[in-house]
Each structure stands twice: as structure tokens, then as C-alpha cells.
Amino acid sequence: MLLGCLPGLLAVTALVLCSGSVERVAQAGPDRPAAGARPPAGHRAARPRIVPRSAWLDRTTGRSQPPPRYDDKVVALFVHHTDSPNDYACAEAPRIIRHLYAGQTGDRHWDDIGYNFLVDHCGTIYEGRAGGVDRAVTGAHTQGFNHRTAGIAALGTFTAGVPVPRAMTDAIAALAAWKLGLADVDPRGRARLVSSSGLSRYRTGAAATLPALAGHDAGFATNCPGAALTARLPAIREQAARLQGRLRARTPTARPQGTHGPLPARRPTTGPASGRPEPTGTGRPEPTGGGHPAPRP
């Protein structure tokens, strides 16, 4: 349009309309899709309610810590139990998480709590490690496999015969559906990960194909997340897939193998997973991950 050919009032009107259109386009950037725009492709699930760190981390307990580290995306989740008492009231969950944080940052000298998320037996999901729940924060939960993964810790001990609350498994499924959906990962599928530590089940640099929603014991020699919670993982995967809108059943696949051969035999543990700190490119230790007992209420 040649504005110089229009009468003055029409030219002004055209400029106003033009600038309004530009403003609307600018507002419809990557984080603000324009009205009528199609949603991103893939299988996404609704984000569940996540209680922020500020609900459990007070000024007395909190420590100065370095900036979070990030990966490009999260392609797998590891499920843990915290190896702490089960007879807590849900209102006490923030206090228990504070004890976990204090143990990991104090006795173990970690830079933050290792888990990205924690879930109590009432199904409340808590933000764990700092850095943003919707971002690919590098955690400290599964030695050798902290990159491109996130850790979900169930508050309690879920060894053989211990009931796993339905509210807890529902919350884990909802969290897994949302978090894995951000990268369009099927919770029933498998993810190719590369071990960063020979203290894991795989030698350093070895590729491993593990469940996209795995127990801690899939990557590290431990009994975590306990036999009872491990037995619930197949149902949790299916529920998470349904929440993503995936209705087609998957065909079972063979047990994953690393590039170096079968998984070594699992050695039993009776408490938190143990192992020496693993140096990373940042010079900060990459802890084993695992539970740290909290005192009884």
C-alpha cells in the first residue's frame, strides 16, 4: 500500500492498523501462540500440580549452591524410594524433604537435593532439585545416568509386601506423562542413554537401552525403589501413556542390553545406594543418588 497516495486521515488509520498487526504478531512468539494456531505435534499431557521448593526449604536449612546444570531434554525418568519411614502424615512431607536435603547437602556434601521431584503417599508432588520443573535439570539421583533424565522419589520404603498407595502411583503416572511428553517420549518405550560412570551397571561411555520410566535399579546396583514399587511400574507406564493420549498397546520387547553385554548381577543393598563421587566436566561430584533415611515423625 502506498500511504502517500491516501488522504491524511486514511494514512494515519492505515498506520495504526499496521502497527496493531505487528504488535499482535510479536505477542504471538514461541511462548504465546497466535489465536487459532495448532498445538505442538506429539503426545502431551497436562502438567500436574507441583508444590514449589519454597514450601519445604526454609532459610535455616537452605544452603548457598552453584547454578543448576541443564541438558537439552529429558528422555527417561528413574523412580526411587527414599528408604524412610512410611508412617508419616502428609502434612509432615515438607519436614521429611528438608531432612533429605540436609543429609545430602550436609553429610554427603552434594550441591542440592538429588531428586528432581518427590511424591508423598497422598499424591502430592514436590519440586526437588532447583532449576525449574519444566526444564531439563541435571539431577543427582542415578549414578552414571543423571544426564537427559529426571529422578522421582517416592517418600517411604516400598520393599516386598509393603502397600504402595494408589494416590502415590497416580501422581507418579501424571508426572511421568507430563515430563516425558515434553520430549514426546512414550512412557512404555525405551531410551538410549550413555553411562558416565563405571560405578553404574555399565562401564563409562557404554550405551544402554533402558525403560523410559525405569526403577533406580535399572541403572545402578541397588534394591531401590523396592520390590513393591518396582512391581507397580508396568501399570504406571500404561497409565502415563493413556494420559498422553496413547491408546495403542505396545508389544513387549526383550530385556535391554548394553553395548558391552548383559547386565551384571544385582547386588543387594539395605539402605541408601553407595559409591564414590564421580567427577564431571564441571568439577562438581555426581553423586550416586538414592535414599537417605529421614528420622521418624
Residues 121-137: tens digit of each pLDDT: 999 999 999 999 999 99
Q: Is the pLDDT of residue 146 over 90?
A: yes
User: Tell me, what DSSP letter sits at residue 154?
Assistant: E
- Cα 293 to chain centroid, rounded: 21
Q: Is the pLDDT of residue 92 over 90?
A: yes
Q: 1-15, 86-100, 109-123, 162-176 — which is least confidently predicted?
A: 1-15
Q: Does the N-terminal peptide bond of residue 225 adopt cis geometry, omega within 30 degrees of 0?
A: yes
Q: Is the pLDDT of residue 110 over 80?
A: yes
* 222-228 mean pLDDT: 98
Residues 16-62: tens digit of each pLDDT: 333 343 333 333 333 333 344 344 458 999 999 999 999 999 877 88
Task: Quote the pLDDT of residue 61.
Answer: 81
Q: Is the pLDDT of residue 1 over 60?
A: no
Task: Quote the pLDDT of residue 42.
Answer: 81
Q: Is the pLDDT of residue 264 over 60?
A: no
Amino acid at 25: V
Task: Quote the pLDDT of residue 247.
Answer: 81
* 68-79 mean pLDDT: 97
Per DSSP bridges, beta strands 213-215 and 149-154 are unpaired
Task: Quote the pLDDT of residue 65.
Answer: 85
Copy the grid coordinates of residue 79.
523412580
Question: Average pLDDT of the chain?
Answer: 79
Residues 172-213: tens digit of each pLDDT: 999 999 999 999 999 999 999 999 999 999 999 999 999 999
What phi and psi values does residue 16 have, to the nearest 5 degrees?
-60, -45
| Nearest CA among 108, 69, 94, 76 for reference residue 291 | 108
Assign 285 a pLDDT band (cuts: 50, 70, 90). very low
Amino acid at 111: D
Assign 9 a pLDDT band (cuts: 50, 70, 90). very low
Assign 286 a pLDDT band (cuts: 50, 70, 90). very low
| Nearest CA among 145, 165, 170, 160 for reference residue 78 | 145
